Amino acid sequence: MLNFQTKGLLGLVVAIPLIAALPLPDFWITQLNYIGMYSITVLGLVLLTGVGGLTSFGQAAFVGIGAYATAWLTLNTGISPWLTLFIGMGLTAGSALLVGLITLRMSGHYLPLATIAWGLSLYYLMGNLDALGKYDGLLGLRSLSIGDFDIGQGRAFFMLTWIVLVMLSAAVLHLLDSRAGRAIRALKGGSQMAEAMGVNTFRYKVTIFVLAALLASIAGWLLAHFQRTVNPSAFGLKMGIEYLFMAVVGGVGYVWGAIVGAGLIRLLDDQLQVLLPRLMGTSGSYEVIVFGVALVALLKYLPDGLWSMVDKRLPRRPRRTDWAHAADLPVRQRPTPGEPVLEVQAIRKQFGGLTAVNDISFEIRAGQIVGLIGPNGAGKSTTFNLVTGVLALTRGQVRYRGEAIAGLSSRDISRKGMARTFQHVKMIPDMTVLENVALGAYSRGHKGVIAAMLGLNRAEEQRLFKEAQRQLERIGMGEALHEQAGNLAMGPQRLMEIARALCADPALLLLDEPAAGLRHKEKQALADVLRQLKSEGISILLVEHDMDLVMQICDHLVVMEFGTLLTQGTPAQVQQDPKVRAAYLGTDH
Ligand code: ADP
Ligand code: MG
């Protein structure tokens, strides 16, 4: 997917001077200039809303900060307009950081509402400050120039805008296909899985919020110098909605969708403003109504936007595997055999009146496979969530390699070397199997957003992919590296999650029903892999309903029923226990 979008950008680089050389009427060059500037803002929304799942109606306000900053500075100080770009970006980053830190903890519909409030308040601020010319705005900016060469208008400005657009698009594409990008793409499905991979989801939300604001600010800088005047009307809520509309129409998850959406809406807007009043016989902003109706229809029939139709038709080529000689990732020091790895001490969890886990205690030593079994609803998954920090304990303590970890976040716990899978598979369906698994190695890498955007992460990416491929091959999925994860059957999806957990180089692995949906042969292969892991010194806590598998590979069993510990012991002891037989066969005891 990504490499075709990149090729398209290369095509654009060639096309830009050609278009500039064509004898197009100035009207069309102006249109293209607007499309270029809008696309830059919409690109930010692709990242924020399309990929990150955070809806913002407030982008126009950030365009405004960039525009007003350069307008005020160039009119009132002698600072070069080129320098004001960076001052504007600094101001934007500061405000976005502040707004982001306050609003991004809100969930659901509160965030879009907060961005509306933010957009409105900035609009009224711009319209009421004397220094900013109130609703008349600031007039009389000079055109951008390099020496004596005027590049602020017409074709020269077209080249400037579109080259900036191509560079920023390439940076966003690079970002999306990186360690940080995979973390960003994991945000949409909720934070639980990403945090379990060691990702600080809140920090990434703030980061993409600031990035999107910065893109808007760059567009604002261009806009101010192109129009040579700024006034609040271009930065109000109506424009904020229109930017979001462009992103949705184009296809909010795709970089190219930004350009398609911005282009289409700009052209339609222009044509409809002339056409509709003529059709209706009176003047008025009828295009708003047409857009509204079109948006509803689009969301219903083509929720992924226009570019998704193009994307579906693009041939998918597997990623080039160029990491055979990459260095291995550093490995964690494993516990010595027999050392206690996990000590669960009288843990309890209450959900209101229900005690889902009632004073459960057990221990796992290095290199042991411990099975946690019991009927549905016994509290096994809840125990998992308590141990891994997903849920807070009501009471009790958990020690990992001797250290008390109750109260730590699931992210911190995972970074200590505890990796898990989920009873209900959590993955990023539109990424390949390899990319999903590489997310598991997240906390073994370091390169962040900026390195990714500049393409300075190549070596680390190779190391991460090499590890992901190694773990997938180990689990018998070497053939499926480049398949889209969402297309896998249930069994392979579970195996993929195990490979992802192994990528974290865990000392303790927690598997929640890994064999559900596997065929007999696949189960045997899984048993072999688990034994292999054990022989490497990895400890495993296993929740599983397949008793044959459990009896075969576990060293120790913990049996739960209705939240309480029924019994524990070796498989042979547990099998003989009348209480267990009763629980499983449903007879009274
Ligand atoms: P198991 O994994 O053994 O099938 P669970 O741990 O999923 O069992 O559930 C144990 C009990 O706790 C069940 O009665 C379930 O309905 C309840 N439970 C689990 N999660 C929650 C929750 N978040 N809120 C309220 N009740 C829950
Ligand atoms: Mg469960």
User: Given a cut of 90, is residue 570 above it in pLDDT?
Assistant: yes
Question: Residue 571: pLDDT above 70?
Answer: yes
In short, whether 378's Cβ falls inside 6 Å of ligand 1 is yes
Distance 545 CA to ligand 2 centre (A): 10
Name the residue among 415, 314, 402 with its Cα closest to residue 364: 402
- 380 in contact with ligand 1, CB cutoff 6 A: yes
How many whole angstroms separate alpha carbon 459 and alpha carbon 481?
A: 20
What are the tokens at 523? 């189960």
Give the largest CA-CA distance in the chain.
95
Predicted local distance difference test score (pLDDT) of residue 288:
73
278: in domain: no
Listed range (3-17, 54-68, 195-209, 361-375) with the worst mean pLDDT: 3-17
Q: Is 230 helix (H, G, I), strand (E, B) or coil?
A: strand
Distances in Å between the alpha carbon of 223 and those of 60, 141, 505, 535? 12, 11, 49, 63
Q: How confident is the model at residue 433 (pLDDT cuts 50, 70, 90)?
A: very high
How far apart CA 490 and CA 497 sit, in angstroms, is 11
- What CATH number did the domain enclosing 589 receive? 3.40.50.300
CB-based contacts of 152-155 (< 8 A; 24+ apart in sequence) = 152/225, 152/226, 152/228, 153/226, 154/26, 154/29, 154/30, 155/20, 155/29
Q: What is the domain range of residue 434? A: 429-505
**Is the shortest distance between the CB of 381 and ligand 1 below 6 Å?**
yes
Which of the listed residues 212, 234, 256 is the one where a domain comes to its end? 234
Same domain, 393 and 512: yes
Is residue 284 situated within a structural domain? Answer: no
Domain's final residue, options 451, 479, 505: 505
Q: Counting ligands in written order, which one lies closest to the CA of residue 373?
A: 1
Q: Judge whether residue 587 has pLDDT over 60.
A: no
pLDDT category of residue 586 using cuts at 50, 70 and 90: low
- Nearest ligand 1 atom to alpha carbon 349: 12
Q: Is residue 104 part of a domain?
A: yes
Same domain, 433 and 393: no
Mutate to test the pocket of ligand 1, among 349, 351, 421 (most ligand atoms within 8 A of CB): 351
Do 440 and 400 share a structural domain? no
User: 501 and 442 in one domain?
Assistant: yes
Task: Let me know if residue 299 belongs to a domain.
Answer: no
> Interior CA angle at 502 toward 574 and 505, to 5°?
110
Measured from the Cβ of residue 218, the count of other Cβ atoms closer than 10 Å reads 25
For residue 510, the CA-to-ligand 2 centroid distance in Å is 12
Q: Do 56 and 138 belong together in one domain? A: yes
**Ligand in nearest proximity to the CA of 374:** 1
For residues 209-214, give the mean pLDDT. Answer: 98
Please state the atom number of ligand 1 nearest to the C-alpha of residue 563.
10
Q: Which ligand is nearest to the CA of 375?
A: 1
- The H or E element that residue 74 is part of is helix 59-76
Q: Which residue lies with its CA nearest to atom 6 of ligand 1?
A: 379
Does residue 275 surpass a pLDDT of 90? no
Question: Percentage of residues in the chain with pLDDT exceeding 90?
Answer: 71
Kindly state the average pLDDT of the residues 119-128.
91
Q: Judge whether 25 lies within some domain.
A: yes
Asked whether residue 499 falls in the same domain as residue 400, the answer is no
Neighbours of 204 (CB within 10 A): 23
Contact partners, residue 553, CB within 8 Å, separation at least 6: 369, 527, 530, 531, 534, 542
Ligand nearest to the Cα of 357, by number: 1
Supply the pLDDT for residue 585.
62
- What is the per-residue pLDDT for 1? 44
Helix (H, G, I), strand (E, B) or coil at 369: strand
Looking at every residue in the chain, the average pLDDT score rounds to: 91
* CA-based nearest residue to 478, from 487, 490, 466: 466
Q: How far is the CA of 124 from the centre of ligand 1 (A)?
A: 49
* Interstrand relation of 539-543 and 369-373 (parallel, antiparallel or unpaired): parallel
Residue from 347, 350, 354 whose mutation best tests the ligand 1 pocket (most atoms within 8 A of CB): 354
Model confidence at 364: pLDDT above 80: yes
Q: How far is the CA of 71 from the centre of ligand 1 (A)?
A: 58
How far, in Å, is the centroid of ligand 2 from the Cα of 424?
A: 9
382 lines ligand 1 (CB under 6 A): yes
Residue pointed to by tokens 């997240």: 442
Question: Is residue 377 in contact with ligand 1, taking CB distance under 6 Å?
Answer: yes
Q: Is 375 in the pocket of ligand 1 (CB under 6 A)?
A: no
* DSSP letter, residue 485: G
Residue-wise pLDDT for 64-114, tens only, equals 999 999 999 999 998 999 999 999 999 999 999 999 999 898 776 788 899
Which of 3-12, 31-40, 87-96, 345-354 is the least confident region?
Answer: 3-12
Say yes or no: 344 and 449 in one domain: no
Of 81-85, 146-150, 278-282, which has the strongest mean pLDDT? 81-85
Q: Give the containing element (helix H, strand E) for 379.
A: none
The string of pLDDT tens digits covering residues 453-495 is 999 999 999 999 999 999 999 999 999 999 999 999 988 999 9
Same domain flag for 209 and 347: no
Give the residue-averaged pLDDT of 125-129.
90
CB 70 within 8 A of CB 81: yes
- Here the tokens at position 42 are 């919409």
Ligand 1 atom closest to residue 384's alpha carbon, by position in its atom list: 6
Percent of the chain exceeding pLDDT 70 equals 98
Question: How does pLDDT run across 403-417, given as a tens digit for each residue?
Answer: 999 999 999 999 999
In a domain? residue 551: yes
In angstroms, what is the span from residue 53 Cα to ligand 1's centroid? 28
Backbone dihedral angles phi then psi of residue 342, each to the nearest 5 degrees: -130, 130
379 lines ligand 1 (CB under 6 A): yes
Q: Are residues 50 and 174 in the same domain?
A: yes
- Which atom in ligand 1 lies closest to the alpha carbon of residue 383? 6
Distance 385 CA to ligand 2 centre (A): 10
Banded model confidence at residue 589, pLDDT cuts 50, 70, 90: very low
- Is the shortest distance between the CB of 356 and ligand 1 below 6 Å? yes
Give me ligand 1 centre to Cα 226, in Å.
60
In a domain, 256, yes or no: no
Tell me, yes or no, whether 449 and 409 share the same domain. Answer: no
388 plus 439 within the same structural domain: no
On whether residue 275 sits in a domain, the answer given is no
Cα 64 from Cα 74, distance rounded (Å): 15
Indicate the residue among 234, 253, 284 that finishes a domain: 234
Q: How far is the CA of 362 from the centre of ligand 2 (A)?
A: 18
Q: Are residues 25 and 173 in the same domain?
A: yes
Per-residue pLDDT of 492-536, as tens digits, reads: 999 999 999 999 999 999 999 999 988 998 899 899 999 999 998
Q: Which residues contact 493 (CB under 8 A, 6 or more apart)?
A: 425, 427, 485, 517
pLDDT greater than 70 at residue 9? yes
Amino acid present at 569: G
Summarize the confidence of residues 328-340 as an average pLDDT. Answer: 89
Q: How many structural domains compose the chain? A: 3
